[in-house]
Amino acid sequence: MDSTSASVSAVARIAFLTSDVVVDSLPTPPVVSPYSQKYNILSRTSTHKPRVISTPFGADPGSTLIRNTSNLTSFTASTSPQVLTRLVLHLSEIAVLPIVLHLAVWDDLSDVLLLRSAVPFFLLSTTAQQAHDNALLAARLARTERKAVVHAFYTASPTEDLDEIPEEKILPFLLSATHPKSPRTTNGHATPLPTNDLNGHANGHSSHPHSLASSTEDQGSINLFKAYEAAALDTLSLLRRPLRPFTSRGSPEPHTVIFTLGKENLLTDIEGILFVSITLANPLPHSRLLHNVPSSATRIIVLEQAYRWHSQWTPLYIEVVSALQERSSEQDIVIQSGILGDTSNVQEPDILNLILKSTTLPSSRLLLGVVPAQDSASNALPHIPKHEAAYTKILAHLFNERLEISNSPYLVATQGEIATTPEYALGRVRGQLDSRADLINTIQELLHDGDINDDLHSLLAKWIIDKDDVVKSRTLGKAIVDTLESEPVEHPASNKILALREFLPSRSRWIIGSDAWSYDLGSSGLHHAIASGLNINILILDTLPYSSRNNGDPHRRKHDVGLYAMNHGDVFVASVAVFSSYSQVLQSLTEADRFDGPSVVLAYLPYQSEDASALDILKETKLAVDSGYWPLYRWDPSKEKVGREPFSLDSDAVKNDLKQFLDRQNHLSQLVTSRPQMAAELVSSLGETVKEARKKRAQESYATLLTSLDAPPLLILYASDGGAAEKKAKRLENRAKARGLSTTIANLDSYTLETLQEEEHVVFITSTAGQGEPPQNGRTFFKALNAAALRGDEVLKKLRYSVFAMGDSHYWPRPEDAHYYNKPGKDLDSRLAKLGAERFVDIGLGDDQDADGSETGYKLWEPLLWKALGVDSVEVTEAEPEPITNEHIKAASGFLRGTIAEGLEDFSTGALAPSDGQLTKFHGIYQQDDRDIREEREAQGVEPAYSFMIRVRMPGGVCKPDQWLQMDQISDEHGSGTFKITTRQTFQFHGVIKRHLKPAIQDINRVLLDTLAACGDVNRCL
Q: Minimum Å distance from CB 812 to ligand FMN? A: 5
Q: Minimum Å distance from CB 727 to ligand FMN? A: 8
Q: Minimum Å distance from CB 858 to ligand FMN? A: 11
3-state secondary structure (DSSP) of residue 695 = helix
Q: Minimum Å distance from CB 509 to ligand FMN? A: 56
Q: Which residues pair with 635 in a beta bridge?
A: 573, 647
Q: Minimum Å distance from CB 825 to ligand FMN? A: 9
Q: Minimum Å distance from CB 994 to ligand FMN? A: 24
Torsion of CA 129, 133, 139, 141, to 10 degrees: -140
3-state secondary structure (DSSP) of residue 508 = strand
Q: Could you give the CA distance from residue 492 to residue 114 in angstroms, rounded to a whole number?
A: 53
The nearer residue to ligand FMN, 334 or 884, going by C-beta atoms, is 884
Q: Minimum Å distance from CB 922 to ligand FMN? A: 15
Q: Could you give the CA distance from residue 334 to residue 358 in angstroms, rounded to a whole number?
A: 9
DSSP state for residue 309 in the 8-state scheme: -
The nearer residue to ligand FMN, 620 or 726, going by C-beta atoms, is 726
Q: Minimum Å distance from CB 766 to ligand FMN? A: 8
The nearer residue to ligand FMN, 326 or 850, going by C-beta atoms, is 850
Q: What are phi and psi of 341, to 5 degrees?
A: -85, -165
Q: Minimum Å distance from CB 763 to ligand FMN? A: 15
Q: Going by C-beta distance under 8 Å and a sequence separation of 6 or more, which residues neighbour residue 343? A: 263, 264, 265, 266, 368, 369
Q: Minimum Å distance from CB 892 to ligand FMN? A: 21
User: Residue 55, by phi and psi: left (phi above 0), alpha (psi -120 to 50) or beta?
Assistant: beta
Q: Minimum Å distance from CB 748 to ligand FMN? A: 11
Q: Could you give the CA distance from residue 965 to residue 815 in angstroms, rounded to a whole number?
A: 42
Distance of CA 898 to CAs 409, 609, 893, 902, Å? 64, 61, 5, 9
The nearer residue to ligand FMN, 591 or 721, going by C-beta atoms, is 721
Q: Minimum Å distance from CB 558 to ligand FMN? A: 37
E strand residue ranges, 106-200: 121-125, 149-154
The nearer residue to ligand FMN, 811 or 922, going by C-beta atoms, is 811
User: Residue 692, by phi and psi: left (phi above 0), alpha (psi -120 to 50) or beta?
Assistant: alpha
Closest CA to 537 of 711, 405, 445: 405
* DSSP-H helix ranges across 151-200: 167-175
Task: Provide the pairing of β-strand 572-577 with 599-604.
Answer: parallel
The nearer residue to ligand FMN, 818 or 942, going by C-beta atoms, is 818
The nearer residue to ligand FMN, 570 or 848, going by C-beta atoms, is 848
The nearer residue to ligand FMN, 540 or 724, going by C-beta atoms, is 724
Q: Minimum Å distance from CB 816 to ligand FMN? A: 13
The nearer residue to ligand FMN, 606 or 772, going by C-beta atoms, is 772
User: Residue 197, by phi and psi: left (phi above 0), alpha (psi -120 to 50) or beta?
Assistant: alpha
Which residues are near ligand FMN by CB under 6 A?
A: 720-726, 767-772, 775, 806-808, 811-812, 820-822, 848, 854
Q: Minimum Å distance from CB 827 to ligand FMN? A: 12
Q: What are phi and psi of 963, to 5 degrees?
A: -70, -45
Distance of CA 340 to CAs 69, 258, 299, 346, Å? 37, 11, 17, 11
The nearer residue to ligand FMN, 314 or 767, going by C-beta atoms, is 767
Q: Any idea what the Cα angle at residue 63 is, between residues 60 and 69, rounded to 5°?
A: 135
Q: Minimum Å distance from CB 724 to ligand FMN? A: 3
Sheet holding 633-635, edge to edge: 403-405, 508-514, 537-542, 599-604, 572-577, 633-635, 647-649
The nearer residue to ligand FMN, 302 or 725, going by C-beta atoms, is 725
Q: Minimum Å distance from CB 189 to ligand FMN? A: 59
Q: Could you give the CA distance from residue 152 to residue 161 in angstroms, rounded to a whole number?
A: 19
Closest CA to 425 of 293, 559, 520, 529: 529
Closest CA to 719 of 751, 692, 744: 751
Distance of CA 610 to CAs 78, 614, 624, 990, Å? 20, 10, 19, 72
E strand or H helix that includes residue 928: strand 925-929
First to last CA, the chain: 80
The nearer residue to ligand FMN, 726 or 916, going by C-beta atoms, is 726
Q: Minimum Å distance from CB 993 to ligand FMN? A: 25
Q: Minimum Å distance from CB 720 to ligand FMN? A: 3
C-alpha neighbours within 13 Å on the C-beta side of residue 769? 15
Q: Going by C-beta distance under 8 Å and a sequence separation of 6 or more, which residues neighbour residue 704? A: 742
* DSSP-H helix ranges across 361-468: 374, 389-399, 412-415, 422-449, 454-466
Q: Could you give the CA distance from residue 135 to residue 132 in angstroms, rounded to a whole number?
A: 5
The nearer residue to ligand FMN, 636 or 808, going by C-beta atoms, is 808
3-state secondary structure (DSSP) of residue 909 = coil
Q: Could you give the CA distance from residue 548 to residue 537 in angstroms, rounded to a whole number?
A: 29
Q: Could you give the CA distance from residue 768 to residue 341 in angstroms, rounded to a whole number?
A: 73
